[in-house]
Amino acid sequence: MSFPFRQIANAAVSFLPAMTTALALCTAAAPTADAAELRQYRYEQVSISACHIDLQQDALRMYWKDPAGNLFGTFANLRAWLRPQGKDLLCATNAGIYDKDHRPLGLYIENGVTLRKLNTRQNAYGNFYLQPNGVFIVEEKQARIVDTASVDSDRPRWLSTALYATQSGPIMLRNGEINAAFDPASINLFVRNAVCIDPSQKIVLAMARNPITFHDFARFLRDKLHCVDALYLDGNVSRIYPSLEADIGPAFGAIIGVEKAIPQK
């Protein structure tokens, strides 16, 4: 199968004092073993939050439902579930496109268990189906973004060691190239979030908190965050933790985030 581009391979932002305090507490409370860090960027008048993650040190997880089958849906619900376990979130965002019943629209793997199968449908309506779409796969100490066609053609290769995975679309960057379907002159502006990977295997969860085009967001991920591979997660429903608006809005599907241990008093 051929694709339009190669196969896999601060104006300063002003924050309310409460936001500044919350971010400071988040960083200060993290044990020294945690390297994840939430940073704020300004890119062509767009405010972008980005959580930088090192899988050699950070505990990256995905969460959809609790053991009783109840949807987490919000960061507040997830944090309430984590706290009795002596854990909390360092940073998190929604983990991909979901259906009206809050089920991931494509492949979803959590703790090594496949809970939703790979969606190989094409030529359907919605961002999920913009080609190529793909899968963000988390393995032990490494991660990948792989296009759906490649995953489908060799599932044992790509999924046999997957601890977590979420399928979404479109792929925004592949081997440093912006998806050829993105129009630099587009006026299609939306809040968007994405996951991307840099050459050193660092992961970034990024959210444009003001409307931005696909092309400009991809360019930011490549030129400012130095990512080489990136996968779009979702649009206007997206939120990122910590932020003032983290739990303002409807419930979404799965969540991707970095856990931290709560310091013992």
Using an 8 Å Cβ cutoff, are 167 and 132 in contact? no
104-141 residue pLDDT tens: 999 999 999 999 999 999 989 999 999 999 999 999 99
Per-residue tokens: 62: 């995905």
For residue 10, what pLDDT band results from cuts at 50, 70 and 90?
very low
Provide the β-strand partners of residue 116: 108
Q: How far is CA 64 from CA 69, 94, 225, in A?
A: 9, 10, 28
197 pLDDT higher than 70: yes
Report the percentage of the chain scoring pLDDT > 70: 87
**In the prediction, which pLDDT does 105 show?**
97
**In the prediction, which pLDDT does 264 show?**
79
Dist CA 133 CA 131 (whole Å): 5
14 pLDDT higher than 50: no
Per-position DSSP letters for 11-36, written without gaps between them: -PPP--HHHHHHHHHHHHHS-TT---
Q: What is the largest CA-CA distance in the chain?
A: 57
**In the prediction, which pLDDT does 23 show?**
38
216-229 residue pLDDT tens: 999 999 999 999 99
Using an 8 Å Cβ cutoff, are 81 and 69 in contact? no
44-92 residue pLDDT tens: 999 999 999 999 999 999 999 999 999 999 999 999 999 999 999 999 9
246-255 residue pLDDT tens: 999 999 999 9
**Start-to-end CA span in the chain (Å):** 57
**Cα torsion 31, 35, 169, 248: sign:** positive
For residue 34, what pLDDT band results from cuts at 50, 70 and 90?
low
For the residues 12-41, what does the mean pLDDT come to? 51
167-177 residue pLDDT tens: 999 999 999 99
Whether this prediction's pTM lies above 0.75 is answered by: yes
Lowest model confidence (mean pLDDT) among 20-34, 149-163, 193-207: 20-34
Averaged pLDDT of the chain: 89
